[in-house]
Each structure stands twice: as C-alpha cells, then as structure tokens.
Structure 1
C-alpha cells in the first residue's frame, strides 16, 4: 500500500517534503518534517511567490511501536535554504499491514506500530 492510501497522509506530498530530525523514544518513532500540503488539505494556503509548494512543519508519530528495525542509518546533515537542518526526503514509504517501510538519505527503517499520527505545529492531531 502507498503512503497516500493512509488517511492521515492523503493530502500530503512526501516526495518533496523534508526530514528535519528523527526522534526515538521507548514506544514512539517520530519524524520531524517540513511537509508539502496538497491543495486538498484543510491547512493548505497559497505558497509564497518564491516557493513551489505550501509547506507546514509537523511531526509524523509512529506510536505504540512493537518493532523498529534500522536497515541503514546516515549521519549526513545539510542545511536547507532557510538554515534549518535537512536530513533529506522520504524517498520510499510503503505500508504492509502494521509495518511501515521508509527510506531516504537519512537511512532506511521498518516500523511496526499500533497507530500513526501527523501532528501539525499549532494544530490538533490529524
């Protein structure tokens, strides 16, 4: 299943979104993101004249993790145009049941979890 088939990702374009950080806790893996919102997203606003997309800072939380397997990790960090840390994009995001497979310049991970939430800065959970 593709990421956009999951309700919480339906109006997001991950291919041009940026991973700013990765946070791990006992039962949660979170990606700190600068997400590209599609026009169909309820938080969409017309992008600035120098931007190609509507970006919104958010966290993707993989909650109630049962298993997190890192296949590869990278410590490469670059700076985005605005000076923020940029770990790269999410190049692969596949879903197989309760397992999410993600890959990018930052590494490759498989996460089996109970639920996924997208938490937008300044907004309630989506």
Structure 2
C-alpha cells in the first residue's frame, strides 16, 4: 500500500475529521523524530448523539460517566485524538495548538474518542491544520 508523501519542512495540510468515522485518514505522512504543529481553529463542535463537544472533549453525561472504560483512548469523551497508523499509541490533539514528535513514520489518523460500537450516532466535523515545523 502506497502512503502519502511526507510533509516538507514548513509545509501545512488542512484536513477534515468526521465524528462518524472510527478512523479518519488525514493524508499527512509524518516522519519519526520531526516536530509537527496540530491545530484546530476555535469554535468548532461536533455531536455525540445530542451531546455537543469541542475538540477537547467533555466528561460525559449519564451512562457515559459510568462507562468510561468503553472509550477507545484514556482521554475525555469525544476529544479529538490522533495516532500514527491504526496500531500507534493514541495521543490527545484537543483544542488549541499541540506540538507532536512521532516515534514512528506513518500516516496521521484521527478520531472522536467514543465507544467503538457507537460511532453511528455521531455528527459533525473538525478542521485540523497539520504543519511540519522541523
């Protein structure tokens, strides 16, 4: 399987992460050891059924508070999460600006942190800007 070309230093790519998809391919191939900035423009929200959340996620409501162990990653419900490939460790992107230095080469994949079997009731998207800093 062919992967996207790596971002050059100073190059940016904007992608859209869909809340309904368990994995969102970003088209950004990141290189181990290089530094990247991941940023979400302010004011964006998406929905877990009827529960609104920004990219930083939320603590959960009702049954979610009791079923925290069902979340895919140990971050707040519906937080924007990234991983290098489907087997890479998850990391919190959240809101604002995050800097990230991958431990392996691979495509950045993203998702809304939800229970694996409940993506069908999710709605909305987040815009994510990925920039290679060095």
**TM-score clears 0.5:** no
TM-score by length of 1: 0.28
TM-score by length of 2: 0.27
* Structure showing the higher strand proportion among its residues: 1
* Structure showing the higher helix proportion among its residues: 2
